[in-house]
């Protein structure tokens, strides 16, 4: 893992998740494959293996750079800007 310049800018403590699943998928009646948590604002979105890629869409709409897996037992983080695990 590398430390990108966006990690030190993240809010502390980590924001609380706004939902337990991807609200966009839920509204569409779609099933999210894996969930991701925006570490800037707490948005929960589905991963790029899901049909609608709501976590990436959230990044593209907001510019919030870092997310983490929202799956049980997983703690890895991803920086969209640096395209790397951080």
CATH code for the domain of 28: 3.30.40.10
31 falls within a domain:
yes
- Number of domains making up the chain: 1
Q: Is residue 72 part of a domain?
A: yes
pLDDT tens across 11-48, in order? 999 999 999 999 999 999 999 989 999 999 999 999 99
Residue 36: domain span: 7-85
2 falls within a domain: no
CA distance 64 to 67: 8
Burial class (CB in 10 A: 0-12, 13-18, 19+), 15: middle
Label residue 1 by pLDDT band (50, 70, 90).
Answer: low
Cis omega (within 30 of 0) on the bond before 13?
Answer: yes
pTM greater than the 0.85 cutoff: yes
Tell me if residue 58 falls in helix, strand or coil: helix
Tell whether 71 is covered by a domain.
yes
Helices (H) and strands (E) in the chain, counts: 2, 5
The answer to whether residue 1 sits within a structural domain is no
């Amino acid at each position: 893992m590398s430390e990108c310049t966006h990690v030190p800018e993240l809010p502390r403590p980590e924001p609380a998740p706004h939902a337990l699943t991807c609200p966009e998928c839920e509204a569409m009646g779609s099933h999210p494959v894996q969930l991701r948590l925006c570490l800037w604002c707490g948005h929960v979105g589905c991963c790029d293996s899901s049909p609608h890629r709501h976590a990436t869409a959230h990044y593209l709409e907001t510019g919030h750079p870092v997310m983490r897996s929202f799956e049980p037992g997983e703690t890895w983080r991803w920086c969209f800007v640096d395209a790397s695990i951080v």
